[in-house]
Structure 1
């Protein structure tokens, strides 16, 4: 049997943001999204590396990385695109994942929400990080 590597902070944050967005039955929703190729970025890479069978035994609290507090924001655009921003601690940037790519952003939760609105309106032209 192959032992899977532990999740990275970015992967755990992406799962936490997804769970916050989809509520109590988030695992069923994620499994369905994975099976119908409706995920991108970190979530799709996690599906490819760990797979749906791993999801059954995964626990947000038990499998949480030990380093620092986790903050997550999930914003759904008018067209249904999901923008997920996660941050591990005060000195870390927000990592923003969205259908067209990723971005890093330093600032408060209010500022990152404003930045996400810019990404929704202007796409990659609004990116801060290359």
Structure 2
């Protein structure tokens, strides 16, 4: 049996984001996507390097609790594997969104911020709010 290399932070983030987006049965959905060639980027690279049998035993590392000041980090993975990371430093602060083409700031709830990230994914930098 060949020992597999440990996952990088980006790979853990990609799988965690996929799991959050796909709910309780995320592993079976990811395996199905892998078998039907519906993943790209980081997720497809993991399928090629680690494979479906590895996925069965994989468990998502426990998230670090948000700090007392209310800071949060949310990662969303685009279909092509690009990572979109939203950071909120405090309860009254806007989200800072970092992605391959740049960054943006967004004030709003988490669902509104996720919708904004979906616009950034589909429309690219044209959907940016701040210059």
Q: By the TM > 0.5 criterion, same fold?
A: yes
For 2:46 and 2:98, locate their aligned partners in 1 and report how far apart those are by CA, in whole Å: 16
Consecutive unaligned residues of structure 1, counting only runs of 5 or more, are 97-101
Shift of 1:61: 2.2
The structure having more radius of gyration, on CA atoms, is 2
Distance 1:106 1:86, change over 3 A: same
User: What CA RMSD, in Å, does the superposition of the two structures yield over aligned residues?
Assistant: 3.8
> What residue number does 2:29 align with?
29
State the structure with bigger RCO (CA 8 A, min sep 6), 1 or 2.
1
For 1:48 and 1:82, locate their aligned partners in 2 and report how far apart those are by CA, in whole Å: 14
- Preserved contact between residue 14 and residue 81 of structure 2 (Cα < 8 Å): no
Q: TM-score, normalised by structure 1?
A: 0.62
Match of 1:117 among 106, 119, 129: 119
For 2:118 and 2:16, locate their aligned partners in 1 and report how far apart those are by CA, in whole Å: 18
Q: Secondary structure at the match of 1:24?
A: coil
Consecutive unaligned residues of structure 2, counting only runs of 5 or more, are 64-71, 90-95
The alignment covers a number of residue pairs equal to: 111
For 2:30 and 2:106, locate their aligned partners in 1 and report how far apart those are by CA, in whole Å: 28
- Preserved contact between residue 15 and residue 43 of structure 1 (Cα < 8 Å): yes
> What residue number does 2:84 align with?
85
